[in-house]
Structure 1
Amino acid sequence: MIAYVKGKLVEVTEGVVIVDVNGIGYEIVCANPFYFQDKINQDVKINTYHHVREDAQILYGFRNQDEKTLFSRLITVSGIGPKSGLSIVGHISVDDFVIAIENEDEKFLTQFPGVGKKTARQMILDLKGKLPFEIRQGSDQMMNSLVSMNDSVNQQTIDEAIEALKALGYSERELKSITPQLKQSGKVNADELIKLGLALLIKS
């Protein structure tokens, strides 16, 4: 199995990053590839999960080991495949997810694409008390402030969309002017936020 890929980041696209390792280009599927945009032509180390099936071998990439571990646990849940697992990891911090599971917050979990009530309940049954993470300092405050994604877009996703737009050449001033509209859009997918941001920037 391939635990990580270390080499020069040579390409970032909407769905994947490509890392050159001694002349071999590894295509790695990531939830938010543009997170790595500022590392183009630099050496990177990307934690990977090597998913093998009958018709393909796919490398899924993550920013850190915690995200990779969460992904590996998610895809053991009935109804959660790699695509859904990657989407969940890309939309929320590990801490927030653990809190939602431990609090049995089905409403919060059903905000993820492809997750209905049945799947949310299955995640809680399979994962509660079994995720190997300790909630970091400030967990009490996080529990009190945890809100539905239906009411506010995850700040992490907003930040990643802004970084992607910045990599396309837009200035801090331009991006600051559209940030409130991105936050109020209700969109929870980074790609959708990027498209909305581009539309808003073109109009301005």
Structure 2
Amino acid sequence: MIGHIEGVVYAVRAGFAVLSVGGIGYKVAATREVLATLAEGKAAALWTHLAVRETAHDLYGFKTEEELRFFELLLTVSGIGPKSALAVLDIASVETLRSAVAGGNASYLTKAGGSARCGAESVSGYRDGERAPAGSPQDTRRQTLRGAERSNIFYGSQCQKICRGRSA
């Protein structure tokens, strides 16, 4: 797995950049915001996610680890692949997206093409009846998922599986 890449920006194009690392050019898909921070000929470092499929190995780049984690959280939802998850992140900052989900603003999140709204079911969301400490990564993740479930973005059963630590 490639978790981080650092090199010289060889090219910036619509939807991706090419980073030259040790004489090899890595094509990295990224949001418009990330691409706007990259300049050809300048050094750059990105957090990455490698999506491996039968027909391709695609690299996705992020400026912060928080962006990467939110992207990977989106990937745990059935029906959302890397391109849809990147499209969601292209809408706004991670903090803005979390606020939208927590506030039940589903129409804001569905601006990203490819991700369909789903009906919601009631969700207990807690493993064995225990609550994660407030502000912990588990609690933040659970709050984000609960907001998404209330916003009818994810099926309740998907949220249950994610909250319990299983893949959807």
TM-score surpassing 0.5? Answer: yes
In structure 1, the residue matched to 2:114 is 114
Q: Which runs of 5 or more residues in structure 2 are unaligned?
A: 126-137, 144-168
Once the two structures are superposed, residues 99-133 of structure 1 have per-residue CA deviations (whole angstroms, 9 ceiling, x without a partner) of 122223223222222233317x59x999x955289
In structure 2, the residue matched to 1:15 is 15
In structure 1, the residue matched to 2:29 is 29
Which consecutive segments of 4 or more residues in structure 1 shift more than 3 A?
none
Aligned residues: 130
Offset at residue 69 of structure 1 (A): 0.8
In structure 1, the residue matched to 2:135 is none
In structure 2, the residue matched to 1:97 is 97
In structure 1, the residue matched to 2:82 is 82
What is the letter of the counterpart of residue 36 of structure 2?
Y
Once the two structures are superposed, residues 81-113 of structure 1 have per-residue CA deviations (whole angstroms, 9 ceiling, x without a partner) of 111100111111111111122223223222222
- Alpha-carbon RMSD across the aligned residues, in angstroms, is 2.9
- Distance in 2 of aligned mates of 1:35 and 1:19: 14
8 Å Cα contact 1:102/1:129 also seen in 2: no
SS of structure 2 residue aligned to 1:118 = coil
What is the letter of the counterpart of residue 109 of structure 2?
L
8 Å Cα contact 2:91/2:111 also seen in 1: no
- Where do residues 44-63 of structure 1 align in structure 2 (5 Å cutoff)? 44-63=44-63
| TM-score, with structure 2 as normaliser | 0.67
- Distance in 2 of aligned mates of 1:52 and 1:96: 29
- Distance in 1 of aligned mates of 2:84 and 2:46: 20
SS of structure 2 residue aligned to 1:91 = coil
Looking at secondary structure, tell me which structure has more helix per residue: 1
| TM-score, with structure 1 as normaliser | 0.56
- Distance in 1 of aligned mates of 2:16 and 2:109: 25
- Where do residues 46-195 of structure 1 align in structure 2 (5 Å cutoff)? 46-118=46-118, 121=120, 129-131=139-141
